[in-house]
Amino acid sequence: MKAAYYDINGGPDVLDYGDLPDPTATDGHVLVRVQAISLEGGDVLGRRNNPPRHPPHVGGYAAAGVIESVGSGVTNLAVGQRVACFNWQGSHAELFAVPVPFVFPVPDALDIKVAAVGLIAFGTAHDALFEFGRLEPGETVLVQGAAGGVGLAAVQLANRAGATVIATASSAQRIGRLQSFGATHGIDYRQENIGVRTRELTDGVGVDLVVDLAGGNALRSLLQALRYRGRLIAVGGASGEGGGTFEFSDIAPESLAVFGMLFGKELHTARVHEMIAGIFDDMATGRISMPVDRTFPLAEAAAAHRHAEEGHPFGRILLVP
Ligand SMILES: NC(=O)c1ccc[n+]([C@@H]2O[C@H](COP(=O)([O-])OP(=O)(O)OC[C@H]3O[C@@H](n4cnc5c(N)ncnc54)[C@H](OP(=O)(O)O)[C@@H]3O)[C@@H](O)[C@H]2O)c1
């Protein structure tokens, strides 16, 4: 098969494109003929930061396509079925081997590319807002890193749930676009102090929930944006600045709660399968959407990763084998 792969971690130029042996559908797995690959924020961080344990390493978490073969013991999925899928690695290729619990049927009415870009973005955002964040109608949520895939999903889902949404991004132009997706207010994180500006926007009260997709140095400012008993969900590190730190005194006086989450550890559950089925129905009818900023051939994976890192894409980047 053709694949984009790397032997060492580093910048986009570590990515090569060429022939690798085909994976197979082992017990409890299916082999998917990939039609659309979603370039996820985590794919970029993984390529940059994580030395591959077994090079050549085919990166990538998310793709969609058609089942080519099924391993032994697989009875609930069939050859020819259209699916979206996740695995911890391997989506940047023509063939993607995936354990059955990470396979999600795509309804006939849903474009396969839309399914590819929707699975992780909307699933993660849904869990951050509702499963871990316990967002209620009438509450206010701050989405840090709102113009990326998970952020745009969070803005739409929170708005639809009756919450007021404050969205951060790196320019006024991007904030304007976010408002058309349901953000009530925007903060340019390059120009403004997020904690101070959030207090101004909420009449000094602060927000009920923060969904943090950027991590890093702004963490304290995000905690300062919370109201008494507010919740922060630590989802991502898109800033590339590392984890961010806080102390007892940052959370105790206001009785704040900080949760982490890793969506990949919930994906196999019946709860998430039901949630994704609802998301795919909503995407098929256009109630929610994920803008595709640019589409690249898989052969140009290095250029796609460079655009993800440097080009400030709005929404997702697609790779097509
Ligand atoms: N925990 C989980 O289960 C889980 C699941 C999925 C994703 N993630 C993680 O969540 C993060 C977001 O994922 P994604 O796929 O949405 O990534 P993405 O599409 O690459 O978007 C990342 C966004 O972060 C923003 N950003 C970058 N630096 C920032 C900073 N210093 N301050 C504020 N915002 C900043 C960017 O906004 P501008 O372009 O406007 O600068 C960009 O829109 C990634 O780190 C990913 O690994 C975690």
Domain boundaries, the chain: 2-119+268-320, 120-263
Give dist(CA 92, CA 105) in Å, integer. 20
Token pair recorded at residue 14: 């570590």
Pocket of ligand 1 (CB under 6 A): 40-42, 45, 120, 124, 144-145, 147-151, 168-170, 174, 189, 213-214, 216, 218, 235-239, 261-263, 308, 312
HSE-CB for 27 with a 13 A CA cutoff: 0
- Which residue has the least CA distance to atom 15 on ligand 1? 41
pLDDT at 109: 97
pLDDT at 167: 98
> DSSP code of 255?
T
Q: For 286-302, what is each residue's pLDDT tens digit?
A: 999 999 999 999 999 99
Using DSSP's 3-state secondary structure scheme, residue 91 falls into coil
Q: Which residues of 78-109 are buried (b: 16+ CB within 10 A; e: fewer)?
A: eeebbbbbbbebbbbbbbbbbbbebbbbbeee
Give me the architecture of the 2-119+268-320 domain, per CATH. Alpha-Beta Complex (3.90)
pLDDT at 242: 83
**What single-letter amino acid sits at 7?**
D
Query: Which residues of the chain carry a pLDDT beneath 70?
Result: none
Give dist(CA 296, CA 58) in Å, integer. 17
Q: Which residue out of 150, 194, 276, 306 has the highest number of ligand 1 atoms within 8 Å of its CB and is therefore the one to mutate?
A: 150
Q: Which residues of 1-38 are buried (b: 16+ CB within 10 A; e: fewer)?
A: bebbbbeebeebebbeeeebeebebeeebbbbbbbbbb
**How many whole angstroms from 233 Cα to the centroid of ligand 1?**
13
Q: Give the gyration radius of the chain's Cα atoms.
A: 20
**How many whole angstroms from 237 Cα to the centroid of ligand 1?**
6
**How many whole angstroms from 156 Cα to the centroid of ligand 1?**
16
Q: Which atom of ligand 1 is nearest to the CA of 239?
A: 28
**How many whole angstroms from 42 Cα to the centroid of ligand 1?**
8
Q: Cα–Cα–Cα angle for 243, 240, 150, nearest 5°?
A: 90
**What single-letter amino acid sits at 316?**
R
Establish whether domains 2-119+268-320 and 120-263 are of one fold. Answer: no
Give dist(CA 70, CA 82) in Å, integer. 13
Segments in 161-294 forming alpha helices (H)? 172-179, 194-201, 219-224, 248-251, 270-284
Give me the architecture of the 120-263 domain, per CATH. 3-Layer(aba) Sandwich (3.40)
What contacts 163, CB < 8 A, 6 or more positions away? Answer: 135, 136, 137, 138, 139, 140, 141, 209
pLDDT at 187: 98
- Prediction pTM value: 0.98
**How many whole angstroms from 277 Cα to the centroid of ligand 1?**
24
Q: Which atom of ligand 1 is nearest to the CA of 263?
A: 3
pLDDT at 232: 98
**How many whole angstroms from 52 Cα to the centroid of ligand 1?**
22
**What single-letter amino acid sits at 48?**
R
Q: Which residue out of 47, 213, 232 has the highest number of ligand 1 atoms within 8 Å of its CB and is therefore the one to mutate?
A: 213
pLDDT at 243: 73
